[in-house]
Amino acid sequence: MDIRLQEKLDALPTEPGVYLMKDKRGQIIYVGKAINLRSRVRSYFTRTGDTRVFVSMLDTMLGDLETVLVHNEKEALLLENELIKKHKPRFNVLLKDDKQFISLRLDRHQPFPRLEVVRKYEKDGARYFGPYSSAGAIRETLRLINRFFQLRTCTDHVLANRKRPCLLHQIGRCPAPCVFPVSQEDYRKSVDEVAMFLEGKAGELTEGLRMRMKRAASELKFEEAARVRDQLLAIERSLERQKVATSDFKDQDVFAFFREGDRILFYVLHVRQGRLNGGQAFPFGSQEFPDDELLASFVNLYYDQGGFVPEEVLLPLEPGDGTDGLEALLTERRGDRVKVFVPKRGEKHELVNMAVKNAEQAFVERKRTKDETDTVLSRLQSKLGLRNFPRRMECYDISHFQSSSIVASQVAVTDGETDKSRYRKYKIKTVDKQDDFASMYEVITRRLKRGLEDGDLPDLLVIDGGKGQLASAHAAMKDLGVEGVDVVGLAKSRDQEVFDRDAESAKSPERVFVLGRKDPIVLPQNSAEMFMLTRMRDEAHRFAITFQGKSMRKSAMRSALEDIPGVGEGRRKMLLRHFGSLKRVGDASIEELAEVVGPAMAERVHAGLHGDPEDDTEDPVREASLDDASEPSREKAAHEKADGGSPPGTA
């Protein structure tokens, strides 16, 4: 070991803090926390029974070490969390700040509350239920609630501005408080029943419904009694499917993990009011550090995502520095006492065992899926003659509408799965007319320049198009001196001319164009390799069309109002905020416009949008309507891909 580094290890303090391990290039590869920094860090170099690759290579890999001292373990947990999110070290577990958690929010402070799907918990006085393991689970719950409890589903804005009841009222699924004088007391009863249903309070809820059914029947209100009966049966069936996990009816999160080498999968089992409410799996690779450290770090990051913090957190093993710091941190985030412990027996120990089994099952399933994906990628490499194993692929598509609003999309796939963190959108800057070849040259040039600077290049570029588009991409690679990246072109199938009148119309197969090969490669059309390529190409097409539509909408809104003298950015925002869209601004009368911008400016805006009444020119509002702007989503005009020829000005 380097003498300077050995001196740092010898001088480590015995106080709590955070340590940052760096490699020879100065890159942070691991962030950890400890109550005793000297004991924890030095333990990595004294482990004799630890056979993991990273620990054995630490002497040669470690280039530098930094420490930050704090007052206690809770501060160390907070700092560790922030540093992991900032530096994204190679050997830490990393949770993405995206759509991990789905919950339901019920704000009882509103006169007519509704259920909202949210992904973040806030201390706003509302009730939160969840998290739910999948969008399908939350849709099923909402379907049942909307059918039998009859809460409104519209937004607050719609509630305040609706003039007549919606379809849900007409089919008997909403009392329409937006229009009719609905009793808040009666509505509040439905809200209370929804809360009991989501909390799993089966006995209290069903008993109340049964009494209401009998009361309605005794008052000869047979239709209401039948409705309550159906509601009761549906709720009982739903609650029967929820297995009772504990007898103390607490909110709990149960953590477990399964590990093989450097691959580890954490599993979180959710228990709400004593009933199982689903679970989530979080797989990670390149994890060489001890189990107790990774578990504590994962739990810390998990609750930093804005998720609900329960009353109890159950762990399969004791974290290296104990549970006191984690317990104090979670108590602060919850605003109430949280217990963190490792159960050794009883119901809670059985819950941990159940979570461990789920972790192992999820690990095995993902491993099998990964092996299958690697087989498909290996066949793709072989059939296309690629130099690289195509683990990281990117696909590009050019989209334009009537030679304007030229945009491009970049979608990414990592290990056979879409990687939305690497999606990119491009506005073409150097081409002002319909030229797919020059546009593709610009996009690939911009992407590869950034990749060369960041050291982030894919294994395979897939170009949506034929020989021309492929040649443009290759020209960009040559001009930048990029080597070691494969590139292919994927041409869509097209209608073939059929001379037999009785023959059905036919389509040519999808073709893959490869550099240095005259004829395209035709993969089996139903093969997994072709499905992977076409799915990526279709996603790039969808992403480009969506971006183009948004760009054209912005342009339409901006141009129609900007051409009116006296209407600056402030007035434009006022109008759009008040009316909601440019079309509604155009449909507004002078009197309605005057309420926002005054009488004189209202006449000017109305005249500017509609023109002189005697003028026969087209209405610019209709000409730049949102419906027209979304036209590319139905038809990608002038977007035919050329199968041959050289891209002008790109070689």
Transcribe 441-492 into DSSP letters. HHHHHHHHHHHHHHT---SEEEEESSHHHHHHHHHHHHHHT--S-EEEEEEP
Question: What is the per-residue pLDDT across 444-490, written as a single tens digit (0 to 9) for each?
Answer: 999 999 999 888 899 999 999 999 999 999 999 999 999 889 999 99
Q: What is the pLDDT of residue 397?
A: 94
Average pLDDT of 573-588?
Answer: 79
Rounded to the nearest 10°, the torsion over CA 442, 447, 448, 454 is 150
**Does 287 or 36 have the greater pLDDT score?**
36
Among 12-16, 123-127, 340-344, 379-383, the minimum mean pLDDT is found in: 123-127
DSSP 3-24: HHHHHHHHT--SS-EEEEEE-T
What is the percent of the chain where pLDDT is above 90? 25
Looking at the predicted structure, is the pLDDT value of residue 109 above 50? yes
Range picked from 269-278, 312-321, 569-578 for highest mean pLDDT: 312-321
**Does 461 or 49 have the greater pLDDT score?**
461
Q: What is the pLDDT of residue 100?
A: 55
Contact between residue 153 and residue 165 where contact means Cβ atoms under 8 Å apart? no
- Whose CA is closest to 607, among 581, 586, 630? 586
Looking at the predicted structure, is the pLDDT value of residue 98 above 80? no
Pairwise CA distance, residues 41 & 14, whole Å: 10
Pairwise CA distance, residues 130 & 309, whole Å: 10
Looking at the predicted structure, is the pLDDT value of residue 249 above 90? no
Average pLDDT of 583-602?
Answer: 84
Average pLDDT of 145-162?
Answer: 84
Pairwise CA distance, residues 509 & 490, whole Å: 11
Looking at the predicted structure, is the pLDDT value of residue 621 above 50? no
Could you tell me the two tokens for 52?
Answer: 């993991």
What is the percent of the chain where pLDDT is above 70? 83
User: Which pLDDT band holds residue 260 (cuts at 50, 70, 90)?
Assistant: confident
Could you tell me the two tokens for 30?
Answer: 């691991």
Give exposure, 350-372, as e/b (b: 16+ Cβ within 10 Å). Answer: ebbebbbebbbebbeeeeeebee
Looking at the predicted structure, is the pLDDT value of residue 612 above 50? no
Q: What is the pLDDT of residue 308?
A: 78
Pairwise CA distance, residues 511 & 493, whole Å: 7
Average pLDDT of 116-120?
Answer: 82
With H, G, I as helix, E, B as strand and everything else as coil, classify residue 257: strand
Rounded to the nearest 10°, the torsion over CA 112, 118, 121, 126 is 10
Pairwise CA distance, residues 90 & 31, whole Å: 9
Q: How far is CA 4 from the centre of its chain?
A: 44
Contact between residue 419 and residue 412 where contact means Cβ atoms under 8 Å apart? yes
Pairwise CA distance, residues 255 & 280, whole Å: 10
For 465, 468, 469, 490, 518, the CA distances from 645, given in Å and listed in that order, are 12, 6, 9, 15, 12
Q: What is the pLDDT of residue 449?
A: 93
> Would you give the DSSP letter of residue 113?
-
With H, G, I as helix, E, B as strand and everything else as coil, classify residue 432: coil
Pairwise CA distance, residues 114 & 187, whole Å: 11
Computed over every residue of the chain, the mean pLDDT equals 81
Looking at the predicted structure, is the pLDDT value of residue 641 above 50? no
Looking at the predicted structure, is the pLDDT value of residue 637 above 60? no
Among 98-107, 217-226, 357-366, 633-642, the minimum mean pLDDT is found in: 633-642
**Does 342 or 492 have the greater pLDDT score?**
342
Looking at the predicted structure, is the pLDDT value of residue 106 above 80? yes
Amino acid of residue 395: C
Average pLDDT of 257-263?
Answer: 86
> Would you give the DSSP letter of residue 631?
G
Question: What is the per-residue pLDDT across 400-416, written as a single tens digit (0 to 9) for each?
Answer: 876 567 899 999 999 88
Mark out the alpha helices in 481-581 (DSSP H runs): 528-562, 569-579
**Does 1 or 139 have the greater pLDDT score?**
139
Looking at the predicted structure, is the pLDDT value of residue 636 above 50? no
Q: What is the pLDDT of residue 628?
A: 37
Looking at the predicted structure, is the pLDDT value of residue 526 above 90? no
Looking at the predicted structure, is the pLDDT value of residue 52 above 70? no
pTM summary value: 0.60
Q: 13: Cβ–Cβ under 8 A, 6 or more apart, which residues?
A: 37, 38, 67, 69
Average pLDDT of 594-598?
Answer: 86
With H, G, I as helix, E, B as strand and everything else as coil, classify residue 389: coil
Q: How far is CA 428 from the centre of its chain?
A: 27
* Phi/psi of residue 506, nearest 5 degrees: -125, 160
User: Which pLDDT band holds residue 569 (cuts at 50, 70, 90)?
Assistant: confident
Range picked from 26-30, 314-318, 501-505, 611-615 for highest mean pLDDT: 314-318
Q: What is the pLDDT of residue 49?
A: 53
What's the half-sphere exposure (Cβ side, CA atoms, 13 Å) at 602? Answer: 13
Looking at the predicted structure, is the pLDDT value of residue 553 above 70? no
Looking at the predicted structure, is the pLDDT value of residue 278 above 80? no
Q: What is the pLDDT of residue 140?
A: 76
Average pLDDT of 209-227?
Answer: 86
Among 353-362, 444-453, 633-642, the minimum mean pLDDT is found in: 633-642
